[in-house]
Chain A
Amino acid sequence: MTNEVILQVKDLKTYFTVDEGLVKAVDGVSFDLHKGETLGIVGESGSGKSVTNLSVINLIPTPPGKIAGGQVLFHGKDLLAMPQAEIRQIRGNKISMIFQDPMTSLNPFLKVSTQMIETIVLHQGLDKDAAKQKAIEMLKLAGIPAPEKRIDQYPHQFSGGMRQRVMIAMSLSCNPEILIADEPTSALDVTIQAQILEIMQELTKRLGTAVILITHSLGVVAGTCDTLCVMYAGRIVERGPTDVIFEDPKHPYTKGLIRSVPRLDVENSERLYSIQGQPPNVIDLPDCCPFYPRCEKAMDICKKKYPAIANFEQGRAVSCWLYSGAKDE
């Protein structure tokens, strides 16, 4: 990880128009990604993690979705303002994605070879034979045995874990600068999850690829991510280096999340902590801190206004009235 920032997300807003009203799925998200960095995004289901990352490569289904504001600067160029033809040369090439469900993410009607080769031919300008060699090599790196045989099989002939390895191999086949992995292991058996994460980490380290890792699991984050963003109701509520946040979480939501992870190293017979209340409804959300109904430290102002960002040393940022100058109350 160097200090060169390759991706800057600035005040990103993505809204969906549904029958019930306006869903502000992502409402003012900002973060930086450095070269070779692994950035984790955690948050409850529906907090806007996937939408954030689909917005980054401008793949929000429109309608019902719409990117309502913000910028995504990749090496200084705004991906959201780019013509389709130009961003297509970045997708799958400089920025690639892996999705949650490997069972449905590959086209069942096309051989793995076809699906891998088309990407390599498109972005690397290799001929088909060379592209196939490259694909086989990538499958091998991703830990698929006998790749020269398996490459000509169809996705349904692979197990879930193997398919995710194929996805990893495919997404890294053009040496991307950024890999966005949207819950790459949530759909897999626990025993396979660790293997997949490990192979992903190993390959991205080797290729120097920066990773945005979306996950529910703080356990995954602790082991893999340099930086952590905690999302709640479409916003990032806390951001900073992973170890610092784990050591000293500031936002009440982050505190709750960390307290609710089972720990083997702490000896106590206390019941596992869980955050009370329901995840918020993000339809027509008023301008308050969306976490206040569940917050143990909620104050009056939390119901009235969304907290401004409070910055701390080491690049930490927290959105909570406890830190944003409401101290006089």
Chain B
Amino acid sequence: MNPLRHTFISRCLDTTPPSTNPLPEELRYLDIGCGGGIFAESAARLRTTASVTAIDPTPDVLAIAEGHKRRDPALMTKGKLTYLNTSIEELPVPGSEAEKFDVVTLFEVLEHVNAPGPFLESVISNVKPGGWLVLSTIARTWTSWMVTNVVAEDVLGIVPKGTHEWQKYVNEGELREWFAEKGGWGGNGGVKAMGVVYVPGLGWKEIPGGEAWGNYFFGVRRDG
């Protein structure tokens, strides 16, 4: 899954329309709900990354992330990768637009959240004008119900039973609508989606149109 996240982010960044606020050569990332830090570490290793701030409110997973980070001296450079034990709601909003982040990521978090609207409000207050919010989640459809409750949890055993509550899933169309109503987001081609599916033996693969019925990536750019 992780390499696909970079594929999708590059796709978003590469199509950024010409703007008055071009993003810098080296990007600042905020990874929300970083878990064990798989994505945060990989983002910090990229040549085009200035820094990664990764947050998670669960102390246990953050301890794992910190422990794993120490195994790579390249990540120990001060300011490269910073873990903070906090929820996004409690993270202080940056004081100025310039202090906000170029790329805000939210992978496999949205489906666990009770009130997606207010939650997304806290998330997007960290995105710089011209910056991107990139997330991955799973659509609320009959296919995903089957996959989550029967295949992933029972048959494949990929995730522990009871990890997901299907009712909480957010559909791609709902996200598009939410940002359209909000205004100031996704103008000029700044909305992207990519469906992915888990193929046993092959791993995660992109599947055109898959955003309508299963796991998908969603990227939206803040105008400016």
A binds B: no
Q: Which A residues are closer than 8 A to B by beta carbons?
A: none
Q: Which B residues are closer than 8 A to A by beta carbons?
A: none
